[in-house]
Homo-oligomer: A and B are copies of this chain.
Amino acid sequence: MNIVQSVEEMQQIMQDLRGKGKSIGFVPTMGFLHEGHLQLLRNCKAENEISVLSIFVNPLQFGPNEDFDSYPRDIERDEALARNAGVDILFYPSKDEMYKNNMSTRITVVDRVDVLCGEKRKGHFDGVATVLIKLFNIVTPHKAYFGMKDAQQVAVVDGLIKDFNIPVELVPVETIREEDGLAKSSRNVYLSNLERKEAPHLYQSLMCGKQAIEDGERSVGIIKQAVSKHILEHTSGKIDYVEVLSYPELEQINEIQEKVIIALAVKFTKARLIDNITLVVPNN
C-alpha cells in the first residue's frame, strides 16, 4: 500500500494510473475506520482495479461548537485496516496541504441541507462539498463510494456531481446492520443494556413505514405517525425527527411518490442514533 501525503504527488500518481487505463475506485473518509467504511472498501475493491482511501479530518465541515480537535484519530490502526482491506493507495494529507492558501471561492449548498440532521448543522455540507470537489480533482476516481447510513450526505453528493458535471459515478452502499437489524454505528456502545435491546425497533419502525406504503398507504402524515408510534411503544428513546421526504431531492411531500426516504433520529441516554431506508414506490 502506497501512502501519499502530498497533493501534487497524488495528482501525478493518479494521472499515470488513468493514463494506463486503470479503473479507479475511491472511498473518502475522516478516518477512525469502522465496519461501515470496511464495507465501502470491500465494494470498491470488488469493482475497481485501483482502490484509493482518503483519510482527512476536514476542518471546514465542523461547526464552531463542534469537536474538530477532539475528533477521534488513530492513523496506525487505520493504516493496518486499510492494508488488510487491500487498499492500493492511502491518501493522508495534512490540513495545511489541503488548504494551502486562503480559499478565494466559497461553496454553499442551498438544497437538500435544511432538513434531517443538516437542519441543525448549518454550513456542515458546505464544508463536505468543498473538500469533495477538491478530493475528486486530486484522486480523479471513476467511482466513489458513500454509505447510505448518511443518506443526506449521499443526496448532497448526488447534487454536487450533477451540478458540476463531475466525471465520477456515485455508488451508494447499503447500511450494514447487526443481525437484529440495528444499524452498525460506533455510537452503539454508548447504549445501556436495556437501550441496546430496544434499539433494533428503530429499524423495525422503518419497516412498519415500508409495509404501510406497500399496503397502499400514500399519506406521508399517516406513515410518519405509524413509524413514530412504533418507536414510542417499543423504545425509551426520545424522537428527534421522523421524516418522509422525496429522494434524493429531500423535499417535503404530502403524498408518497416515486422514490422516498424514511429517516429517523432518536435520542437515548448517551447516544443519538440515526437510521433510514429509501424505497422506490410501486405504481398503483
A46 adjacent to chain B (CB < 8 Å): no
Q: Which residue of B lies closest to A100 (CB)?
A: B162
Closest beta carbon of chain B to A182's beta carbon, Å = 32
B110, A162: Cβ atoms closer than 8 Å? no
How far, in whole Å, are A200 and B80 apart by their CA atoms in the complex?
A: 67
Closest beta carbon of chain B to A58's beta carbon, Å = 14
B134, A164: Cβ atoms closer than 8 Å? yes
Say yes or no: A137-B167 contact (C-beta < 8 A), given A18-B19, A162-B101.
yes
CB contact list, A242-280 vs B, under 8 A: none
Residues in B with CB closer than 8 Å to A21 are 19
A160 adjacent to chain B (CB < 8 Å): yes
Residues in B with CB closer than 8 Å to A38 are none
Residues in B with CB closer than 8 Å to A19 are 18-19, 21
Per-residue B-contact encoding for A92-106, CB less than 8 Å = 1, 0 else: 000000001111111
Question: Which of B103, B104, B137, B167 meets A11, CB within 8 Å?
Answer: B167
How far, in whole Å, are A111 and B102 apart by their CA atoms in the complex?
A: 9
Residues in B with CB closer than 8 Å to A100 are 162
Residues in B with CB closer than 8 Å to A104 are 109-112, 156, 159-160, 162-163
How far, in whole Å, are A30 and B56 apart by their CA atoms in the complex?
A: 38
A166 adjacent to chain B (CB < 8 Å): yes
A3 adjacent to chain B (CB < 8 Å): no
How far, in whole Å, are A162 and B98 apart by their CA atoms in the complex?
A: 10
A101, B163: Cβ atoms closer than 8 Å? yes
Closest beta carbon of chain B to A234's beta carbon, Å = 36
CB contact list, A8-52 vs B, under 8 A: 11, 15, 18-19, 21
A106, B101: Cβ atoms closer than 8 Å? no
How far, in whole Å, are A11 and B133 apart by their CA atoms in the complex?
A: 17
B110, A11: Cβ atoms closer than 8 Å? no
A70 adjacent to chain B (CB < 8 Å): no
Q: Which residue of B lies closest to A7 (CB)?
A: B165
Closest 4 pairs between A and B when the two form their complex, measured CB to CB: A104-B111, A104-B159, A106-B108, A137-B165
Given contacts A19-B21, A104-B160, A105-B109, 11 further A-B contacts (CB under 8 A): A11-B165, A11-B167, A15-B167, A101-B162, A104-B111, A104-B162, A105-B159, A106-B109, A108-B108, A133-B164, A134-B165
Supply 19 A–B pairs (Cβ within 8 Å), ascending by A. Answer: A18-B18, A18-B19, A19-B21, A100-B162, A101-B162, A101-B163, A103-B163, A104-B156, A104-B160, A105-B110, A105-B160, A105-B164, A106-B108, A106-B109, A108-B108, A133-B164, A134-B163, A134-B164, A138-B167
